[in-house]
Structure 1
Amino acid sequence: MTVNWDRTTPAEAGFAADLERRFEAGIEAGLLRDFHAVAMSRNGKLVFERYFEGRDEAWGDDLGHVVFGPDTLHDLRSVTKSVTSLLYGIALEEGLVPPLDTPVVDGFAEYPDLVADPERRKVTIGHTFSMAMGMEWDENLPYTDPRNSEIMMERAPDRYRFILDRPIIEPPGQRWIYSGGAVALIGALITRGTGRSLADFARETLFGPLGIDEFFWCAGADGAESAASGLRLTTRGLLRIGDVLANGGAHGGRQIVPKTWIDACLTSAIRTAFDTGYSRLWYLEVSRAPAFEGARPWAGGFGNGGQRLWFSPDTGIAAVAYLGQYNDWSSWIMPTRFWTEMVMRNFERL
């Protein structure tokens, strides 16, 4: 079922009145390509959406040619990490999961040798959220390469021991090392603390209250849902999450995501290898669009192939892009153009 939205025009929402024509011009000129869907909102209202068609995948499985629409589920890939962050924030507010200064190994008592290791006890849950565990991990290799650490994790007989037993290469907290394994640990802490699967906890605490009833969460061979990359949502469903975050975490008179968690997600904890800020599984930067009097902060969830969710609290703007550039290392270009050139540069007033 399509997530219901109140609609408004670009002009009424403070954007250039000819925003849709500008987007079409970008498509026609080839500056924007390989999109499956795009959508944007401001202050709870849908401003713009477009759907396309093309080849797609579901967590690596070829789906063939797909005609996309408001009801079509799409891989989030690593945008899943950012959604998982929200679930932890909700569970933490309810007292169901440990605070972030807790050693992460304490959540895995089945490995007493690792729990007792004084060096591993220095790695906190907070370090997993910053991807700064100080442990060996390599996702720079293609995900088709069996030496990729996330692929090795998925094929390991015990994914959590595989992650927690990685060689320690530096003190935690010093350097951002991209790690789906860190997020797998966070997902396990959520399921162990809440007594529910990620899908069930999300349905109860996040998706259900936002009217999102169509989603799918892919799981590994061991049955563990992938907290790092396995979620599939519709365009409007993901946009609803971004819109709520852009407007303080409340929806329908209820605080869905704790405001304190959103504020922490917007406060950079470390710099990434891409020279962006990063906090609690969200990328951070500022917009320097000429229309703004000053820099405006935004947060984004980024996924393989060009999947994106952005939200900008200062403006109430949220946007989603789904693309089909899976395993293409240049896939950052098209969604970045959409956000900077089509969304931020066409926003004309605060």
Structure 2
Amino acid sequence: VLILRNNKLVYEQYFPGTDVTRGVGFVGFKDHHRDSLHDVRSITKSVVGAAILIAHAQGKIKSLNQRVFDFFPEYAKHDTGMKKQITVQHLLNMTAGIEWDEEISYLDPRNSEIKMNNASDAIEFVLSQIIIDTPGKKYNYSGGCTQVLAAIVAKATGIPVDKFCEQYLFKDLGIEKFTWAKIRSGDPSAASGLRMRSRDLAKFGLLFLNNGKWNQKQIIPAHLVARTLTSQATTQYADSIVPFVGYSNQFWIYTEKIKGELVDYVQTQGNGGQIILLDKKNDLELIITAGNYNRRDLRKNSYDIYTDFVYPAIVRNIQKDTLTEHIKALTYHAITSEFKFDTAAIAKLMDDDFISVYPHKKQNKQQELDGIFKSSMERIKENHIIDTLILDDFKVQLFDHTAIAIYYSVTKGTKKGIPFDNNRMRWYDVWVKRNGEWKWVSSQGTLVNK
């Protein structure tokens, strides 16, 4: 589990567990660590989607609306009927309209991806499937779409998709350690063949979280990233908890109800609990790798970590930050009102039991207000003008319904026309929330130095 906030890694933890290699099977119980490669399965699809966007940006693929069969004249016999309408964009959004079934288990030989992987010509297998919907009309999950996308990369650029990604994507991201399994035809498995490190998955996610830019280099044009992070196809997987599940350029687009709030995020995910989750609003990325391959029966899985733990923690931190700024604002308002001799404003902020403590005296609310009024009269009489109030090193400590503001103050001005610079004071102001309103209950000032 890795969590990144504001482009910084804030949590990283690895756990021992089972490891499975695609095409090989169970390889043992492993002590996973930072440099461990892990089967990321369908996260591979999103990498292939990125390769298409890069090839398009390079001008190798002239348009995402280009017909798929334009790249495959050798399969012209399948270029018939509504299949003539299938475009690269349809493949990216899995709306090609061809018959395909990956809803059944990947352990079942009738699964369409398994059939494709075992075919001598995977691309012909996909393009030969019958068409059952108008292209662009209906979403249907299909690793076949992704395999054809990988073949388009190879056709358009002259470089196999694994080598293309290595040269034009991974190299820029500093991803050096990975493997990419092949299918029977000898082509890289575009649907589920990558093994990667968790930290490298984080780099891939950050590329999209940062609008396609990495180390000041624009790897994927920002407008293509923005389109990828916005749903282009509506899937059939929505329910009462997740009222919207969309798809775009091999990425999943979610709106989920968390603690009664609708939360939007983007995800690339793979069989077994592999996740790259992007919460752009909160500038957060969550990486999860797991070994629950082909376990569709789990009551709780990787997908619940964000909703159960990560997002609630974000909300708590946001609430804490917001409250901290509110207490700072109240304290600043109180102090500036005092130096403006605005006793009405100060009285409104003070609790009835307010008490102030200074180096040589202690006062209740009324005594404090009387002292402010008396001070104002003396300053007017002596032409004592405070024109600068400096508050610095401001900190707020929060304890349920109590907040303590700790800060330093210095005042500057003139007295009878002569400039002065007052002593530096350290303050401890206590605020308590009562009946939904924060009240100023005490203030202690201590002389620090001259």
- The TM tier, using the shorter chain, reads 0.7 to 0.9
* Corresponding position: 1:175 with 2:138: yes
Contact kept? 1:246, 1:311, Cα under 8 Å:
yes
Residue type at the aligned position of 1:244: L
Cα offset for 1:98?
A: 4.1
**Structure 1 residues 180 and 170: CA distance shift in structure 2, 3 A:** same
Contact kept? 1:287, 1:344, Cα under 8 Å:
no
With CA pairs under 8 Å and 6+ residues apart, which has the higher RCO, 1 or 2? 1
Cα offset for 1:214?
A: 0.7
SS in 1 for 2:188: coil
Query: What residue is the counterpart of 2:209 in the other structure?
Result: 246
In the alignment, the residues of structure 2 paired with residue 103 and residue 54 of structure 1 have an alpha-carbon distance, to the nearest angstrom, of 44
SS in 1 for 2:302: helix
Stretches of structure 1 lacking an aligned partner (at least 5 in a row):
1-37
Query: What residue is the counterpart of 1:158 in the other structure?
Result: 121
Query: What residue is the counterpart of 1:47 in the other structure?
Result: 10
In the alignment, the residues of structure 1 paired with residue 271 and residue 235 of structure 2 have an alpha-carbon distance, to the nearest angstrom, of 16
Cα offset for 1:247?
A: 1.9
Query: What residue is the counterpart of 1:21 in the other structure?
Result: none
Task: Name the structure with the higher strand share.
Answer: 2
* Corresponding position: 1:95 with 2:20: no
Query: What residue is the counterpart of 1:76 in the other structure?
Result: 40
Query: What residue is the counterpart of 1:8 in the other structure?
Result: none
Cα offset for 1:305?
A: 0.8
In the alignment, the residues of structure 1 paired with residue 74 and residue 100 of structure 2 have an alpha-carbon distance, to the nearest angstrom, of 22
Query: What residue is the counterpart of 1:285 in the other structure?
Result: 254
Alignment partner of 2:150 out of 179, 187, 207? 187
Residue type at the aligned position of 1:107: F
**Structure 1 residues 331 and 203: CA distance shift in structure 2, 3 A:** farther
Contact kept? 1:43, 1:243, Cα under 8 Å:
no
Query: What residue is the counterpart of 2:159 in the other structure?
Result: 196
In the alignment, the residues of structure 2 paired with residue 86 and residue 280 of structure 1 have an alpha-carbon distance, to the nearest angstrom, of 8
* Residue deviations 1:261-308 (CA, integer Å, cap 9, x gap): 1111122112212120111111112355569xx755321011111111
SS in 1 for 2:227: helix
In the alignment, the residues of structure 2 paired with residue 162 and residue 262 of structure 1 have an alpha-carbon distance, to the nearest angstrom, of 31
In the alignment, the residues of structure 1 paired with residue 269 and residue 153 of structure 2 have an alpha-carbon distance, to the nearest angstrom, of 21
Alignment partner of 1:339 out of 297, 306, 309? 306
Alignment partner of 1:141 out of 104, 109, 115? 104
In the alignment, the residues of structure 1 paired with residue 233 and residue 178 of structure 2 have an alpha-carbon distance, to the nearest angstrom, of 31
Contact kept? 2:21, 2:27, Cα under 8 Å:
yes
In the alignment, the residues of structure 2 paired with residue 167 and residue 84 of structure 1 have an alpha-carbon distance, to the nearest angstrom, of 24
Query: What residue is the counterpart of 1:59 in the other structure?
Result: 22
SS in 1 for 2:137: coil
Residue type at the aligned position of 2:110: R
Cα offset for 1:114?
A: 2.0
In the alignment, the residues of structure 1 paired with residue 43 and residue 236 of structure 2 have an alpha-carbon distance, to the nearest angstrom, of 17
Cα offset for 1:110?
A: 0.7
Residue type at the aligned position of 1:228: A
RMSD: 1.8
Query: What residue is the counterpart of 1:315 in the other structure?
Result: 282
Alignment partner of 1:86 out of 43, 50, 57? 50
Cα offset for 1:118?
A: 3.5
* Residue deviations 1:56-100 (CA, integer Å, cap 9, x gap): 101142211111001000011011111111111111100112422
In the alignment, the residues of structure 1 paired with residue 66 and residue 300 of structure 2 have an alpha-carbon distance, to the nearest angstrom, of 38
**Structure 1 residues 296 and 144: CA distance shift in structure 2, 3 A:** closer
Contact kept? 2:119, 2:185, Cα under 8 Å:
no
Residue type at the aligned position of 1:285: Y
SS in 2 for 1:346: helix
**Structure 1 residues 254 and 238: CA distance shift in structure 2, 3 A:** same
Stretches of structure 2 lacking an aligned partner (at least 5 in a row):
239-244, 322-450
TM-score (structure 1 length as normaliser): 0.84
Residue type at the aligned position of 2:267: G
Residue type at the aligned position of 2:65: D
SS in 2 for 1:62: strand
Of structures 1 and 2, the larger Rg is shown by 2
The aligned length equals 310
Cα offset for 1:240?
A: 1.3
In the alignment, the residues of structure 1 paired with residue 158 and residue 5 of structure 2 have an alpha-carbon distance, to the nearest angstrom, of 35
**Structure 1 residues 312 and 193: CA distance shift in structure 2, 3 A:** same
Residue type at the aligned position of 1:123: I
Query: What residue is the counterpart of 2:171 in the other structure?
Result: 208
Alignment partner of 1:106 out of 37, 59, 70? 70
In the alignment, the residues of structure 2 paired with residue 39 and residue 342 of structure 1 have an alpha-carbon distance, to the nearest angstrom, of 13
SS in 1 for 2:255: strand
SS in 1 for 2:253: strand
In the alignment, the residues of structure 1 paired with residue 225 and residue 77 of structure 2 have an alpha-carbon distance, to the nearest angstrom, of 35
In the alignment, the residues of structure 1 paired with residue 284 and residue 86 of structure 2 have an alpha-carbon distance, to the nearest angstrom, of 35
